[in-house]
Amino acid sequence: MSRTYWGGAVVAAMAVIAPSIAFAAVDAETAFVFNTFSFLIHGVLVMFMAAGFAMLEAGLVRTKNTAAICLKNVAIYSVAGIIFYIFGYSLMYTDVSGYIGSLSLFYDTSDAEKALLAASEKTPELIKSVTDNGYSVMSDWFFQMVFVATAASIVSGTVAERIKFWPFMVFVVVLTGVIYPIQGSWTWGGGWLKEMGFSDFAGSTLVHSVGGWAALVGAIILGPRKGKFGPNGQVLPIPGANLPLATLGTFILWFGWFGFNGGSQLALGSAADAAAIAIVYVNTNLAAAAGVVAAMAASQLLYGKIDLTMALNGAIAGLVSITAGPDLQSHYLSVVIGAIGGVLVVFAIPMVDKLKIDDVVGAISAHLVCGIWGTLAVGIFGSGSLVTQIVGIVATGVFVSLVSAVVWLALKYTMGLRVDPEDEFRGLDQAELGMEAYPEFGPRAQVM
């Protein structure tokens, strides 16, 4: 069963059982309301992650690029939502042949729902025709839409402070309209990876690694910011301008992640679903907390200091790591999985630096490395097969990297990807937007 239809199946099962027993179970219409509401309210929490990414990235760039990164985050969420409405959702979830869905435009409410809403008398037949689906059509769309926006938000942080606005937005269109839905159809759309048994509950691979691969390829093709690497190859720190904002962004992401993972149960209309969601919430929180503690301990041991940004990345690392399998019933494993994620990010960030890849916010380490780790962990600790998990990771990585590379390169040799050095020095805010994020705070330290 695919990500989309799981809830419906459960509800159908309930409907069969319900009449035959003395014990009063959730009726089909009540289950429909629960399932729909779960998509909506969890979806709203995920939507707010757009604010989390915006604040995290606004806190970690320099002041001269802050308005530009805010603009990108607002634009990403907007464009992703429209593209996913026009054709993205359809490519991912409608009539998936195995490798891709169908291209039908303008996803829409079902006729059954329209008939029910239009009817002055809500007859049992009309209600049943709607509740047979298990949840409302557009609530599912809404929940899936906020996921694609997340994948795109990951990219903006990595390539910040030097990429041109419009080429970046073109990439976002391709990522959210083509790359994300196609690979998504393989698993959540019910395609070949799902058939093979690949397991990714809420998207360690499907969302976070996808964003991470696209970001990695983008960072390589784009090249590092001026001043990030010294003439002798040394790594020069470029500190973020507003760490309370980065902290806020991380907390918002954590907050939204309960929607991300909890809503991915895809149903709330039975005791089993409710209990499962509770387990997901707890594991999500334990993994994030363990990620923070592990990242703090690791940076204290390695560097003798605790870097705030390492602790924040530890939280995100823990969250990404548990996202493939937050339904584990052994909670201590969540602590283990999250803690390993927290350690991984502390090692990955300097390693990415050593490879001369300039990732402004650490998204490659937090989302790609830990996304891979989380997906493997399901094979190690969970019900999945490790081999299948590796197949899924590799297939997704190859596909996303290749297509991303083609798109990034095409943009590079047509519109151009990178602002010119003077504009980079002045900052994107003045160069591209003609404004300043903090016009009264100054004089600024001259950070190259």
Task: For the segment 134-163, give every residue that binds a second copy (CB under 8 A).
Answer: 136-139, 141-142, 145
Q: Which of 127, 178, 235, 336 binds a second copy (CB under 8 A)?
A: 127
> In 3D, which of 221, 243, 62, 202 has the Cα closest to residue 155?
221
For 340, list phi and psi in degrees, rounded to 5. -60, -40
One residue of 114, 351, 398, 414 binding a second copy per CB under 8 A: 114
**Distance (Å, whole) CA 389 – CA 142:** 28
Contact 7, 28 (CB under 8 A): no
CB 169 within 8 A of CB 75: yes
CB of 98 to a second copy, least distance (A): 26
Question: Is the CB of 98 or the CB of 439 nearer to a second copy?
Answer: 439
Site for a second copy in 156-215 (CB under 8 A): 165
Helix (H, G, I), strand (E, B) or coil at 229: strand
Give the residue with the Cβ less far from a second copy, 250 or 396: 250
Among positive and negative, which fits the CA dihedral 138, 181, 176, 215? positive
The interface region with a second copy, picked from 72-80, 190-198, 223-231, 393-401 by CB under 8 A, is: 72-80
Q: At what angle do helices 210-222 and 386-412 cross, to 10 degrees?
A: 40
Q: Please give the Cα distance from 93 to 2 (Å, whole number).
A: 9
**φ, ψ dihedrals at 132, nearest 5°:** -60, -25
Q: Which is nearer to a second copy, 112 or 391 (CB)?
A: 112
Touching a second copy, residues 11-30 (CB under 8 A): 13-14, 17-19, 21-30
Ranges within 375-404 binding a second copy (CB under 8 A): none
CB nearer to a second copy: pick between 119 and 386: 119
- Cα 267 → chain centroid: 20
Binding mask 264-293 for a second copy (x = CB under 8 A): ----xxxxxxxxxxxx-xx--xx-xxx-xx
- Name the β-bridge partners of 163: 418
Task: Please list every residue from 329 through 348 that binds a second copy, using CB under 8 A.
Answer: 329, 331-332, 335
Give the range of 207-215, 242-250, 365-373, 413-421 binding a second copy by CB under 8 A: 242-250
234 C-beta neighbours (distance < 10 Å), count: 8
409 to 438, contacts with a second copy by CB under 8 A?
A: 432-438
Q: Please state the closest distance from residue 340 (CB atom) to a second copy, in A.
A: 15
Shortest Å distance, C-beta 402 to a second copy: 29
**6 binding a second copy? (CB under 8 A):** no
- Classified as helix, coil or strand, 163 is strand
Q: Distance (Å, rounded) from C-alpha 362 to C-alpha 140?
A: 31
Confirm if 335 and 286 have CB atoms less than 8 A apart: yes
Q: Which of 5, 6, 48, 381 binds a second copy (CB under 8 A)?
A: 48
Find the binder of a second copy among 95, 98, 104, 244 (CB under 8 A).
244
CB of 446 to a second copy, least distance (A): 9
Provide the token pair at 6: 């799981």
